[in-house]
Structure 1
């Protein structure tokens, strides 16, 4: 009888060297996040031009900005379960095309009400594309490169945001604010076609769902030529739950505590970051600096965050992820207290904000890397996306809390001391993730295997 060739897909993917296939996945995921970053911050760049063009107040423009954030949150909550049911590839391609179309249509909005609806719809696509692109990349990444692959992909968001700033300076003066939305629509639509040709479905998803054998063979042979043939039997240590929704799985034992900790951690982290993103320039200006100085200080936070995204992924692949997260968050708390208690000249303030941005922005992506590494394939997209969606409400809260505290005339010191609260809670959440009971999870999987 011929010898049966078995291949453990999970082990195969975890142990392959990082090669051309992985660079392709990294480039595609990075580009998705660049397009996301450009589109998410587009309204911030064009808001002054809209105020001048339509002669509306700042208060009237507020719903347009907030509706995009709500769309991001809802898109993440919906996109994860869809990806765990229909595949990561379909959801990423569909989401990129969808937010491209909505952004393009936004350019012809006749009033703020229509623009608000269009930005909400664009946010749905943006919210679904981000975590699922990261999830797909994590499922192809070799084990020792998994965290850094996810965090590098999330660097695309800040790159897209920065690129949007440069393009806005050039385009708005020459072609009007609508040109930013047109570019933010046409490019994603074109890139969705590129994704349709180049982006493979997750091999782990295909294995767990026990479908698409031909597609699975093709993609594995791209990673390692001649790795499999028609006689290969694919196996995996992960089990599918055909009758259980992924949403129920992530909140069921043994995942309950980790799921809640991930939700709380990212919620508090994003509250901190969006508090600073929204109000740091005003805080700095109120501390006797000029508006141009305040803009430079705020920019340093983004520069620090981009570097931090890369470094924290490297650290998490080499040390315990929760230890890296806790250490970085504790450092963020220390820098926050130093900013509150000490007086700085401009160069010193820029340096301290760079370090704070390094810590707070990097831990944002660190939560995604932890979630992608923790959840099994059958619920990974849902677990990661729901964490992202819950976290987005933290971002919305951060912007509103900052407005309330500034309205109460809190000063520079008090505002920074307040930020130690969400940072402290996020640190506790990172510790809770590290105390997960892997023994209980293995016992559950063993019982399910026996039942089958």
Structure 2
């Protein structure tokens, strides 16, 4: 009688591994994808002055270009997740990187503002699809005790790419024109897509749930821990695939409905706050009798605080209840916002408070992604994360637009910051609901994966 085949639960295997070389590779690849995203998303802001001078257009004429790019990001996120849950994370990530690389390259030869607006929308589609799927893939390989920090560190790539775009623009644009930034933003992703093609693996959890590609799945597991799988090993998973039921329908069906809505509302409000500040903070500070240099410094400190916060919040969420970390961090953001609105602290005090506010608001942005990636089962994880990101992008658009409206009302410095307490407070409620409902639904979710 032949010996019975040994079984390996893929999900438990991946969750229990120590952080090793394979995980560093996934972290690095995801980080680079987000660096490229960050560079391309902010590219228009850096080349805007040169573009205005070259084409002899007004500042207002650039509005459609900037807004079309944000709409592209939203639509790209909404479509990229379902595609990844159907065809795999690897294919969508590589395809999205190639797509936004080609569109960015084409943007460099735009003959007018109308064509550039369309191309920036198309670039945004690729950018929007690549970001959440890179985070999803990383979360599916991350050991359970390092999952949140792996996702949030990857999102640090976005701010690194944005900062790099600023430095590179100051060097390239004066000598090679505004087109040079778009060329770099197109060529580098295309070259990196070739690297991804050869070294980026498909999600092992995705392969296990789909019951396909056993050879590829076995190869991946043996790379993580050599000698684990042989010809007699039966690869299993506690998670199941809902045949014939789309992932979009799944994330809004019970028991996921309340958590999904809480994640959507939370990120929407968070991004509204951040993009309000990203778009208008330097102008608000300048109008409060500070110099242009001071205004730029205050704006930069918000990004520095956010980068640090991205790393720390992931570490905290891996050690404590994720929703409690989010509530505490958002509550701190509420306190700092009120302090900025009410206290006359001078430049040094304002820099310190904005640093702390950026630490809280930017970190919770990535915290929502970490929460979504750890909550949804594999069959709907990319869709759940991407749809939350897409809905949140409309919050970003709203934040930039609302800022213009409030400034037209002649609101003063304190009133503008007090306004931000409303979306932050709503985000706190959303984090509370997400945590409470998730805790209550845990037995249902565990039962769903084993039947």
Question: Shorter-normalised TM-score: what interval?
Answer: over 0.9
The answer to whether the Cα contact below 8 Å between 1:239 and 1:445 also exists between their aligned partners in 2 is no
2:256 and 2:442 map into 1 onto residues whose CA distance is 8
The answer to whether the Cα contact below 8 Å between 2:333 and 2:361 also exists between their aligned partners in 1 is yes
Give per-residue Cα distances to partners, 1:207-264, cap 9 Å, x unaligned.
Answer: 0000000000000000000111111111111111121000000000000000000000
- Secondary structure at the residue paired with 1:7? strand
1:417 deviation in Å?
Answer: 0.2
The answer to whether structure 1 residue 428 and structure 2 residue 440 are counterparts is no
The answer to whether structure 1 residue 321 and structure 2 residue 327 are counterparts is no
Task: Summarize the Cα distance change of 1:382–1:116 in structure 2 as closer, same or farther, 3 Å threshold.
Answer: same
The answer to whether the Cα contact below 8 Å between 2:239 and 2:450 also exists between their aligned partners in 1 is no
Counterparts of residues 82-93 of structure 1 (less than 5 Å): 82-93=83-94
- Secondary structure at the residue paired with 1:174? helix
- Secondary structure at the residue paired with 2:7? strand
The answer to whether structure 1 residue 114 and structure 2 residue 120 are counterparts is no
1:443 deviation in Å?
Answer: 3.6
| Poorly superposed stretches of 4+, deviation over 3 Å | 437-450
2:380 and 2:231 map into 1 onto residues whose CA distance is 28
In structure 2, the residue matched to 1:55 is 56
1:245 and 1:291 map into 2 onto residues whose CA distance is 51
Q: Which runs of 5+ in 2 are unaligned?
A: none
In structure 1, the residue matched to 2:380 is 379
2:391 and 2:149 map into 1 onto residues whose CA distance is 23
In structure 1, the residue matched to 2:140 is 139
In structure 2, the residue matched to 1:19 is 20
Counterparts of residues 260-271 of structure 1 (less than 5 Å): 260-271=261-272
In structure 2, the residue matched to 1:410 is 411
1:58 deviation in Å?
Answer: 1.1
In structure 2, the residue matched to 1:32 is 33
Task: Summarize the Cα distance change of 1:428–1:439 in structure 2 as closer, same or farther, 3 Å threshold.
Answer: closer
1:16 deviation in Å?
Answer: 0.5
2:448 and 2:304 map into 1 onto residues whose CA distance is 48
1:345 deviation in Å?
Answer: 1.6
- Secondary structure at the residue paired with 2:34? helix
Task: Summarize the Cα distance change of 1:445–1:19 in structure 2 as closer, same or farther, 3 Å threshold.
Answer: closer
The answer to whether structure 1 residue 237 and structure 2 residue 238 are counterparts is yes
Task: Summarize the Cα distance change of 1:447–1:157 in structure 2 as closer, same or farther, 3 Å threshold.
Answer: closer
The answer to whether the Cα contact below 8 Å between 1:304 and 1:354 also exists between their aligned partners in 2 is yes
TM-score (norm 2): 0.98
2:299 and 2:320 map into 1 onto residues whose CA distance is 31
1:442 deviation in Å?
Answer: 4.1
The answer to whether structure 1 residue 96 and structure 2 residue 97 are counterparts is yes
1:3 deviation in Å?
Answer: 2.4
The answer to whether the Cα contact below 8 Å between 1:254 and 1:441 also exists between their aligned partners in 2 is no
The answer to whether the Cα contact below 8 Å between 2:239 and 2:449 also exists between their aligned partners in 1 is no
Task: Summarize the Cα distance change of 1:368–1:444 in structure 2 as closer, same or farther, 3 Å threshold.
Answer: closer
Counterparts of residues 191-202 of structure 1 (less than 5 Å): 191-202=192-203
The answer to whether the Cα contact below 8 Å between 1:134 and 1:153 also exists between their aligned partners in 2 is yes
Give per-residue Cα distances to partners, 1:181-212, cap 9 Å, x unaligned.
Answer: 00000000000000000000000000000000
Give per-residue Cα distances to partners, 1:20-45, cap 9 Å, x unaligned.
Answer: 00000000000000000000000000
In structure 2, the residue matched to 1:341 is 342
1:141 and 1:366 map into 2 onto residues whose CA distance is 16
1:60 and 1:164 map into 2 onto residues whose CA distance is 22
1:359 and 1:449 map into 2 onto residues whose CA distance is 38
Q: Which runs of 5+ in 1 are unaligned?
A: none
In structure 1, the residue matched to 2:152 is 151
- Secondary structure at the residue paired with 1:18? coil
The answer to whether structure 1 residue 224 and structure 2 residue 225 are counterparts is yes
In structure 2, the residue matched to 1:78 is 79
- Secondary structure at the residue paired with 1:317? helix
Give per-residue Cα distances to partners, 1:284-340, cap 9 Å, x unaligned.
Answer: 011110011000000000000000000000000000000000000000000000000
TM-score (norm 1): 0.98
The answer to whether the Cα contact below 8 Å between 2:72 and 2:125 also exists between their aligned partners in 1 is yes
RMSD, aligned CA: 1.0
Counterparts of residues 262-281 of structure 1 (less than 5 Å): 262-281=263-282
In structure 2, the residue matched to 1:2 is 3
The answer to whether the Cα contact below 8 Å between 2:93 and 2:129 also exists between their aligned partners in 1 is yes
1:71 and 1:440 map into 2 onto residues whose CA distance is 34
1:448 deviation in Å?
Answer: 8.0
